[in-house]
Amino acid sequence: MAETGEELVFELRDVHFSYRDHVALDGLSMSVQRGERLVLLGANGSGKSTLLKLLDGLIFPDRGSIHAFGRKLTAEALADEGLARSFRRRVGFVFQNSDAQLFSASVRDEVAFGPLHLGLEHREVERRVADTLHIMGLEHLADRPPYHLSGGEKKKVALASVLAINPEVLLLDEPTAGLDPKTVGFLERLLNQLAEAGKTVVTATQDLDLAAAIADRLLVLGEDHRRAGEGTPPEVLADRRLLLESNLVHDHPHRHDGREHRHPHSHLEDHGHRHRD
């Protein structure tokens, strides 16, 4: 099922999705190029997570269409075992909630889960588990149950459990939320290494620093659950109005070195500033 030559990994046309009466995406069209590093920027509730779940074929649009590798992604299509298997081998998803993703009894079982269920030979599974644990520096945790891991370790195991599948497209939902700076640095380097190896990396985040570090292209989702803007990191990050309207920065007076001035900055960064108003 290796359809080489196609340049588009995903193509979305006018996608709508709502949970009961709550709209999550309202008419989104976009595409993901093979091998690109795409970051989906958006504030809480802008529909980033929903978009990733749509791309991973976990939920399906109410209206509009999604094509993956040139094939239409629907519940019926993924009901076909062969197609589901090849799709899941090509697309990996790192969830925001590591606790939901780490459901196995030990780290080793967790990393083996994907390769096993996607039909790899046991010997090959064992090799991949060993290799993945090695590159992620998780060997010493192999027999530990997931609930005794720290937040950073959990995120690494979650990533390892997806990398062991060796997917060509990697979807990540808020991968740096709640992580210490060292783990964030590790993650940034790893994602860029994977992109250099030709993988397509789609990351949803509201962390502008991360976006600057790991993106070729940014796509901004607005409050209205539609596309608010798009461009290279320098273009988008310089567009203050866009970032303000999308709630990715806030703008208010504060002090630096005793002088008061205004400039936009992100929600997550801590500048140690003090509100005055």
Partner 1 sequence: MTAEAPTSLPAWMLETEGGGIAPSGRRRRRGAAERTLDGVARALERSLFSEELAARAGTLQEMDPRLKTVCLAVLLLAALLVRHLPVLAAMYALVLVLAWASLVPLGRFAGRVWLFVPLFTGLIVLPSIFNLFRPGDPLLVLWHFGEGASLGPWQLPAELAVTRQGLQGALLLVTRTAVSVSLVVLLVLTTRWSVLMGALRALRLPRVFVLVLAMTYRYIHLLLGLVTEMHLARLSRTATRLPARRERRLAAAGIGTVLEKSQVLGTEIHEAMISRGYSGEPLTLSTFSLRPADLPPAALMLLSAAAAWGGDRLLG
How many CB atoms sit inside 10 A of residue 77's CB?
15
Task: Tell me the CB-side half-sphere exposure of residue 254, using CA atoms within 13 A.
Answer: 13
- 76 is an interface residue for partner 1 by CB under 8 A: no
Closest approach of Cβ 93 to partner 1, in Å?
Answer: 4
Q: With binding defined as CB under 8 A, does residue 23 bind partner 1?
A: no
What single letter denotes the amino acid at residue 79? A
Name the residue nearer to partner 1 (CB basis): 56 or 174: 56
> What is the distance between the alpha carbons of residues 171 and 169, in angstroms, rounded to a whole number?
7
84 binds partner 1 (CB under 8 A): yes
Question: Binding string to partner 1 for residues 171 to 210, with x set by CB under 8 A, is what?
Answer: ----------------------------------------
Work out the burial of residue 200: count CB atoms within 10 Å of its CB; fewer than 13 is exposed, 13-18 middle, 19 or more buried. Answer: buried
How many other C-beta atoms are found inside a 10 Å radius of the C-beta of residue 250? 11
Is 124 a residue that touches partner 1 (CB under 8 A)? no
Residue by residue, DSSP assigns 150-213 as -HHHHHHHHHHHHHTT--SEEEEESTTTT--HHHHHHHHHHHHHHHHTT-EEEEEES-HHHHHH
56 near partner 1, judged by CB under 8 A: yes
Taking CB under 8 A as the criterion, the residue among 85, 127, 217, 265 binding partner 1 is 85
Residues lying near partner 1 in the complex (CB under 8 A):
43-45, 53, 56, 58, 81, 84-85, 88-89, 92-93, 95, 97, 99-106, 108-109, 112-114, 116-119, 122, 125-126, 143, 145-148, 161-162, 165, 223, 247, 250, 252, 267, 275, 277
